[in-house]
Amino acid sequence: MSTQSFAETLRKELLVFDGPMGTELYRHHVFTNRCFEELNLTDPKLIEQVLTDYRNVGADVLTTNTFGADRLNLEKYGLAEKLIDINRAGAEIARKVAGGDLFVAGSIGPIKHVIHDLEKIEESETLILEQVDALWAGNVDFIIFETQPSRIAMEVCAGAMQQRPHIPYVLSCAVVMSGDGTQPTSECGEPIARLFAPFHENWVQPVALGLNCGSGPEGLLAAAEEVVKIIDLPLIVQPNAGTPKEFEGRHLYFCSPEYAATYAMQFANLGVMGIGGCCGMTPDHIREIANMVKPLAKAHSAKIILKDAAPEVIEQPEVPLTERSRFAWKLARRSWVTTVELVPPRGYDLTDIIEKSRRLHRNGVDAINLPDGPRASSRISPMVVAQRILSEAHIEPILHFCCRDRNLIGMQADLLGCAALGIHNLLFVTGDPPKLGLYPDATGVFDTDSIGMVAVQRRLNRGIDLGGQSVQPGTKAVIGAGLDPTALDRKRELDRFRMKVDAGAEFAITQPVFDPDALMFFLDEIGELPIPIIAGIWPLASYRNAEFMKNEVPGVVVPESTMQRMAAVAKSLKEEQLAVGVEIAREMIEHVRHRVNGIQVSAPFGRIDIVLAVLR
């Protein structure tokens, strides 16, 4: 791979980095009193096997076994004269495993005892460049300075690289939580703003910045949330497997691969472009991370190119919004709308969901929202459920349309099917990665994302399909899109919202919102609302339900104040817990009523009595 392509790729695609070398070597019974880096010369097959394991589980970037291969460290083992051989061999082993498909990172750890001494900066740079030159000769794609303990250490590394301006490099800092556990800092206690302040503007800049080691996924997430606000370079995050616990004389990590993968998704949603592992992580962790974030990355980067209409095809005017459905008529007039979300069943008996829809219709609800495979679950086709509800309960459905499970041809076929069945209200969502559901080995298609499908649907409304062919008559879909006001990467969410509107979205429904101030702030950032916004409301049925929403549902943020209110009644009867949850939901509606055009109330566990209690 070319050195230029690494920097370009990292800006465009999320890359999965490998895990630690030391943890794996220890698992292969190489003890810590031995120089791990010497194994590049004495047992290259072992190093090759470790890197191959990481390659086989989905890593896009392999890291050389050279973290401690600087002259000072090698001197302790009497190996200083083999510095060039050890580093070059480490690079060549990694390149052999990576081939031309993966990137290779040349690892350099902190220069201990010298890098902190301002009088020895020149000596530090000399030590660094010895490794850099040997690694580059071994054909790495870039240098990664890992686990740097301070701003000074990062500046010394960057200063050394000014003497090798042709070699791309990454600066990655070790981050720990402050003594009171509230703020991420460097190992030397420096705040994030100090660590990641801009470097000298006339310097050759790093191609990326990183966070690694020092803390587990939770601690590095807190740090990453701060870092993305102040840097304009890609960010790479490689957490430890939590904090090791001592058990019978051994230090063990209790961060499961599934736990690491859950945080990996949060890093990806934050806009992090490189995710891997550090101390305690294993190939099993990297496999789960790759399975989680690669479909998500594909969804984030999916683009759609609509072919120009054939010369004989004439674009038709869209049916006015007021004439497409009763729901659309109210949207067009900016009237208040009330919708309820019911999840389709796992089986095919629709008696219960149809009866619930009838009852909600009798109580003045405008439409029934039907999720499409929520949390990557496998359920009956929501299109079938929508048609039955429309024909038998006589209330309009809002069909969620997920981009995860079908290719473009299949999705366009289903959109035309919706038009034929009279299902006009559609909400386009990109969808959760398959890893989140009970079918983790399923493939996420993600030919496009929700923005692309909004554009496809608008073309169908104008009588043209995605291939530029005529569709007569044009469809009459009411085009909706999702909105997450509590997204970690707020800028990205705002940008995507505006792109959805530009692509043709005519209304938006938010994720369940438990913090009204967060929604207000997000709406203020949008400015004058170009389309109607419907606020998602989830009545909490219990404290346990609140914990589930907070910890397990992507895109949902439950503020601490709400958790405290639910915790206060956690030992009470379920009815009392539910009453508090309903009260919180009602307060939320009243708080946002003057800023939105309606609400979507979810029915926890399918209980519409809870929904009706909220709506009274």
Rounded to 5, what percent of the chain is helix, strand, coil? 45, 15, 40
Q: Does 215 share its domain with 150?
A: yes
Domain around 413: 325-539+596-615
Question: What is the Cα–Cα distance from 478 to 418, expressed in whole angstroms?
Answer: 11
Query: For residue 402, what is the domain's CATH number?
Result: 3.20.20.220
CB 226 within 8 A of CB 192: yes
**Mean pLDDT of the 447-459 span:** 91
- Assess if residue 131 is contained within a domain: yes
Q: Does 238 share its domain with 381?
A: no
**Mean pLDDT of the 176-196 span:** 83
Q: Does 276 share its domain with 350?
A: no
**Mean pLDDT of the 514-533 span:** 92
**pTM of the model as a whole:** 0.72
- Assess if residue 591 is contained within a domain: no
- Nearest 5°: phi and psi at 335? -80, 155
Q: Does 31 share its domain with 114?
A: yes
Q: Does 185 share its domain with 252?
A: yes
Domain count within the chain:
2
What is the pLDDT, as a whole number, of residue 3? 45
Strands of 423-546, DSSP E:
425-429, 478-483, 507-512, 533-537
- Assess if residue 317 is contained within a domain: no
Rg (the chain; Cα; Å):
27
Q: Tokens for 156?
A: 């010394």
Could you report the per-residue pLDDT of 354-369, keeping only the tens digit for each?
Answer: 999 999 999 999 999 9
Could you report the per-residue pLDDT of 270-305, keeping only the tens digit for each?
Answer: 889 999 999 889 999 999 999 888 877 766 666 676
CA dihedral sign of residues 339, 343, 348, 350: negative
- Evaluate if residue 154 carries a pLDDT over 60: yes
Q: Tokens for 399?
A: 């069909």
**Mean pLDDT of the 221-227 span:** 90
Give the mean pLDDT of the chain: 90
Q: Does 362 share its domain with 253?
A: no
Residue 601 CA from chain centroid, whole number: 25
Q: Tokens for 449?
A: 């994302």
**Side chain identity at residue 35, one-letter code:** C
DSSP H or E run through 354: helix 351-362
CB 447 within 8 A of CB 407: yes
Kindly indicate the confidence band of residue 311, based on its pLDDT and cuts at 50, 70 and 90: confident
End residue of a domain, out of 229, 263, 298: 298
**Mean pLDDT of the 326-344 span:** 97
Query: For residue 205, what is the domain's CATH number?
Result: 3.20.20.330
What is the CA angle 531-428-404, rounded to 5?
155
Q: Does 246 share its domain with 394?
A: no
Q: Does 484 share its domain with 362?
A: yes
Q: Cα–Cα distances in Å, from 198 out to 95, 136, 209?
A: 32, 26, 11
What is the residue whose two structure tokens read 């800049």? Answer: 205
What is the pLDDT, as a whole number, of residue 321? 97
CB 106 within 8 A of CB 142: yes
Could you report the per-residue pLDDT of 60-112, keeping only the tens digit for each?
Answer: 999 999 999 999 999 999 999 999 999 999 999 999 999 999 999 999 999 87
- Assess if residue 186 is contained within a domain: yes
